[in-house]
Structure 1
Amino acid sequence: MGFPGTWMTESESVVYRVVPKCACSTIGQIMYYSDHGEFFDGDIHDAKGGMHKWALEDSQPLITANIESHKSYAFTCVRNPYTRILSSFFDKICGIQRNGKRYRGNLVPLLIQKYGIEVGDPETGFEFDQIKSFRRFLLFARDTIRWRRPMEPDIHWSAMSGHISTFIVNGGKYDRIFWTEHFNDGMKAVLDEIETPKPVDITKIPRFNESEGHGPKRAFPVEDYFDDLSMHLVYEIYKRDFQLFKYDFEDPSNKMPTGEIDLTEVHAKLGE
């Protein structure tokens, strides 16, 4: 199976397992900058050079050799499951994508038809019942993850532990997993452990949120979107994420982690 979703700097200073909706655009740009002294002009997900990616065939042997010998420092980044699934909804379901179209072509019409979801329209300022539609989207997300229908689960709302486990199962070992909620501290800790061809001052790095501005703004606090049933669904989908990455399931309004991530526990539980 190899190492899907893995990026590595050309200098092989660091290896990163991408987890969608967890600051991956910013992390990718920092990696690119650390080799080249400039940011990639465009969305880093579109870069076909300047960085090794598992999706690029020529990069695969280099990434495999590096990870199997644990030659470089390896890390990833996680996010509160409540805010992550909300972000996926507003970006991928309600938002207009970089190509000017809806995400995955027929996905949104399918959701409108089968789940009664509304997504609004840029022409009318994206006015719709956000809470009702989001809760219906949660049902859809659960159906894709639990029963793989009406489609396979999408990488943007499948569990973080699933993404992170493929790296471990195939022979990789993480040196650090940090939280987007403490991004600067976490990214600085990674940079402090590696030698980069170009120096990176984390305090001067802009945020690269490629999905921003393409869809409706969240109109309510996070906790308003999750009633008792929604919380139950979220726990059903993301139980391991809450447990392993130390997030508070009981309180959707608390996006901050409640304890330290135990890397030994993560490797043991996700390496099975």
Structure 2
Amino acid sequence: MGFPGTWMTESESVIYRVVPKCACSTIGQIMYYSDHGRFFEGDIHDSTSGLHKWAQEHSQPLIEQRAKARDTYAFTCVRNPYTRILSSFFDKICGIQRNGKRYRGNLVPLLVQKYGIEVGGVDGKQEFDQIKSFRRFLLFARDTIRWRKPMDPDIHWSAMSGHVSTFITNGGRYDKIVLTEQFDDGMQAVLNAIETPHQVDLKAIPRFNESEGHGPKRAHPVGEYFDDLSMHLVWEIYKRDFQLFKYDFENPGNKMPIGEIDLDEVHAKLGD
């Protein structure tokens, strides 16, 4: 299986396991800048050089060697499951993607037809009942994860622990798990622990939110999207994420963690 979703700087200063919807565009650009002293022009997910990625065949032996040797600093980044699934809905389901089309072609028409979801019209800009549609999307997300119907789960809403675990089960070990909600502190700890060809001043780094502007703006506070039933669905999908990454399940309106991540616990429970 190897190390899917894993990126490494060309200088081999640091390894990063991508978790979708968790600041991955910004992290990729920071890694690129730390090697080259400039940012990648465009979406870092589209780069085919300047950064080692598991999806690039020539990068695979290098990533595998460094990950298994565990002598290169390795990290990942996680996010509150409530805000992550909401972000996926507005970006991937309601939004028009950067290619000018809907995400995954026939996915949105399927959701409209089978789950009665509204997405703000053809361009995603019309008014619609966001709470009602989001809760129906949550039902769909649960169906994909629990029963792989009507399709396999998508990387943007499958559990973070699933992404994080592949690096561990194939022989890697994390030195740090950064929280999106405390991004500057976490990323600074990563940068302090590694040597890079170019210095990175985090305060001067723009946020590369590639999904911003794709979809409609969230019209309500996060907590209002989750009633008792939708919280139950979120627990069914993301129980392990809440437990391992110490987020507050009881209060969807609290995006901050309520404890410290225990790296040993993460490795023990995801290394099965």
Q: CA deviation at 1:203?
A: 1.1
**Counterpart Cα distance in 1 of 2:232 and 2:126:** 28
**Counterpart Cα distance in 2 of 1:125 and 1:147:** 32
**Residue by residue, what CA displacement relative to the aligned partner does 1:187-244 show, whole Å, maximum 9, x if unpaired?**
0000000000000011111100001112100000000000000000000000000000
- Report the counterpart of residue 241 of structure 2 in structure 1: 241
Contact in 1 for aligned 2:96/2:123 (Cα 8 Å):
no
**Residue by residue, what CA displacement relative to the aligned partner does 1:123-165 show, whole Å, maximum 9, x if unpaired?**
5733111000000000000000000010000000000000000
Q: How does 1:153-172 map to 2 (within 5 A)?
A: 153-172=153-172
**Residue by residue, what CA displacement relative to the aligned partner does 1:81-109 show, whole Å, maximum 9, x if unpaired?**
00000000000000000100000000000
**Counterpart Cα distance in 2 of 1:204 and 1:239:** 36
Letter of the 1:27 counterpart: I
- Report the counterpart of residue 258 of structure 1 in structure 2: 258
Taking a change above 3 Å as real, the CA distance of residues 104 and 124 of structure 1, as seen in their structure-2 partners, is closer
Letter of the 2:228 counterpart: D
Secondary structure of the structure 2 residue equivalent to 1:52: strand
Q: How does 1:115-194 map to 2 (within 5 A)?
A: 115-121=115-121, 123=123, 125-194=125-194
Hey, which bits of structure 1, 4+ residues long, moved more than 6 A?
none
Q: CA deviation at 1:178?
A: 1.4
Q: How does 1:218-229 map to 2 (within 5 A)?
A: 218-229=218-229
- Report the counterpart of residue 44 of structure 1 in structure 2: 44
Secondary structure of the structure 2 residue equivalent to 1:34: helix
Q: CA deviation at 1:247?
A: 0.2
Contact in 2 for aligned 1:15/1:72 (Cα 8 Å):
yes
- Report the counterpart of residue 105 of structure 1 in structure 2: 105
**Counterpart Cα distance in 2 of 1:124 and 1:188:** 36
Letter of the 1:118 counterpart: E
- Report the counterpart of residue 14 of structure 1 in structure 2: 14
- Report the counterpart of residue 206 of structure 2 in structure 1: 206
Letter of the 2:230 counterpart: S
> Number of residue pairs matched?
272
Contact in 2 for aligned 1:77/1:177 (Cα 8 Å):
yes
Letter of the 1:96 counterpart: I
Contact in 2 for aligned 1:122/1:215 (Cα 8 Å):
no
Gaps of 5+ in 2: none
Secondary structure of the structure 1 residue equivalent to 2:173: coil
Secondary structure of the structure 1 residue equivalent to 2:74: strand
TM-score, reference length from structure 1: 0.99
Same amino acid, percent of matched pairs? 81
Q: How does 1:57-136 map to 2 (within 5 A)?
A: 57-121=57-121, 123=123, 125-136=125-136
Contact in 2 for aligned 1:126/1:215 (Cα 8 Å):
no
